[in-house]
Amino acid sequence: MGLGVPSDGLAPTPPMGWNSWNRFGPFISEKLVLETADALVESGMRDAGYRYVVIDDAWEESLRDEDGELRENRWAFPHGMRWLSDEIHRRGLRFGLYTCAGTHTCQGYPASHGCEARDARRFAGWGVDFMKVDWCHTRDLGLDGPATYATWSEAIRGCGRPMVFSICEWGRHRPWEWAPSLGHMWRTGPDILDTWPSLMDTLDRQAALAAFAGPDHWNDPDMLEVGNGGMSDDEYRTHFSLWAMLAAPLMAGNDVRAMSDATRAILTAPEVIAIDQDPLGRQGTRVRKDADAEVWSRQLADGSRAVLLLARGSAPQRIGITWRALGLEPGSRIVRDVWERADVARDDEGLELEIAPHGAALVTLRTNTPA
Ligand code: GLA
């Protein structure tokens, strides 16, 4: 835990779940959410750790009710949010919902400016366990990022129900410097797109932020695009490996009801998830960056190390790294490929692997003797 950061234990490891936005945008409904909840259970994703089912923007009715309360669009959510929340909870899952700090959400629905405490209580009444607060339509109000999210933090803590608080101001006000004491996770940059250049741009924004994260306060590079079709399965494997190294929240953003076996295998890879969820909560750092080759390293709770070798360009790369360059004592280490779930080498000096274009190797290093 970072110095001076209060810890409430709601997000001891990076939150995992599913969010409707990346795949479905505003085209959401009760039916979609329930089918997704069922698919999370049936596919094994829930048991792999994906617990939060988060409904993003466009669930709202276009006006508040006569008492000034936010309400759901009853055409898309005919049984209402309380009912849906109960159904989600009945499946052993948790319920997440979205609002915005400005006058309107990014999709133009009523948002929460000036109603922070009231809306947090409304969400609590619906059984919400996770609240994402976005940043659209704040400019005309001249809102200050840290002050606004401090108001939210107080509203959520005072609403009568424990909720994970997800701050989403797109990294505009260097949230890593003030958000750790206010929320459990904060977006570090603009929206991710389902493309390789966007993935690399998103990655580069994380490189200097490792020191700010830890249990109950995580950098959020954005939700996963795995399975959405814009990248290859190999690129998605790289995406997922990188998020694990970054101790990033793992919010699946695909159509879980209709995913391929390859997508399911990526999203549920147990040893990759174990790195993401490592209890030490130490975010990985980039230890080497050449033109098209990078090495990232992450310290794990059991004393072992996760190492990722990344080939960013369109040609294969031979990437090597010595134990010394990783800051490790010389000596014999077992190299384990966490995707293959197999020990693949043992070496006294270091590691060198051929990496396919846009590929990544994700391994752990351990000494012969238990740490
Ligand atoms: C912003 C957020 C996204 C999503 C949309 C919804 O762009 O960054 O994650 O919530 O709004 O409109």
Residues lining ligand 1, Cβ inside 6 A: 21, 56-57, 106-107, 134, 168, 170, 191
Higher pLDDT, 370 or 135: 135
Q: What is the pLDDT of residues 278-297, one digit of tens each?
A: 999 999 999 999 999 999 99
Nearest atom of ligand 1 to the alpha carbon of 98: 10
CA 252–ligand 1 middle distance (angstroms) = 15
Protein residue whose Cα sits closest to atom 6 of ligand 1 = 57
Whether 191 sits among the annotated catalytic residues: the reply is: yes
Pairing mode, if any, of strands 305-311 and 285-289?
A: unpaired
| Structure token pair of residue 124 | 């609590």
Q: How far apart are CA 217 and CA 180, in angstroms?
A: 5
What is the pLDDT of the chain when averaged over all its residues? 96
Q: Name the pTM for this structure.
A: 0.97
The predicted pLDDT at position 3 comes to: 47
Q: What is the pLDDT of residues 71-85, one digit of tens each?
A: 999 999 999 999 999
Q: 309: how many CB neighbours lie within 10 A of its CB? A: 25
Whether 204 sits among the annotated catalytic residues: the reply is: no
Protein residue whose Cα sits closest to atom 12 of ligand 1 = 106
pLDDT category, 7, cuts 50, 70, 90? confident
Q: What is the pLDDT of residues 149-159, one digit of tens each?
A: 999 999 999 99
Could you list the beta-strand ranges (E) of the chain: 16-19, 52-55, 94-100, 130-134, 164-167, 185-187, 218-220, 250-252, 285-289, 293-299, 305-311, 317-322, 333-337, 342-347, 350-355, 360-367
The predicted pLDDT at position 184 comes to: 98
The predicted pLDDT at position 14 comes to: 98
